[in-house]
Amino acid sequence: MRITFLLILTYLITTAAYSQSHNLETLTSDKCNFSANMPKNVSLATDSVYTQGQKVRTITYTSWTKEQVTYSITCSDFPPAHLFDTPKKTFTMLRSAAVPAVNGKLEDMQSITAFGHNGISYTEKSDLFSVYNWVLIVDKKIFQMYVSGLNHDAHEEAKQFFEDFKLISQ
**pLDDT of amino acid 8:** 45
pLDDT at 111 over 90: yes
Burial class (CB in 10 A: 0-12, 13-18, 19+), 92: middle
Closest C-alpha among 146, 167, 166 to residue 5: 146
| CATH code: domain of residue 120 | 3.40.1000.10
**pLDDT of amino acid 125:** 87
Number of domains in the chain: 1
**pLDDT of amino acid 118:** 92
Please, which pLDDT band fits residue 62 given cuts at 50, 70 and 90? very high
Higher pLDDT, 88 or 9: 88
**pLDDT of amino acid 2:** 53
For range 128-154, the mean pLDDT? 91
Per-residue CA distances from 29 to 23, 36, 61, 168 (Å): 19, 9, 9, 9
Range of the domain at 129: 2-167
Closest C-alpha among 141, 142, 140, 148 to residue 124: 148
pLDDT at 33 over 50: yes
Closest C-alpha among 9, 105, 108 to residue 64: 9
**pLDDT of amino acid 164:** 94
pLDDT at 145 over 70: yes
What pTM, to 2 d.p., does this model score? 0.81
Please, which pLDDT band fits residue 14 given cuts at 50, 70 and 90? very low
Strand 130-138 vs strand 117-125: parallel, antiparallel, or unpaired?
Answer: antiparallel
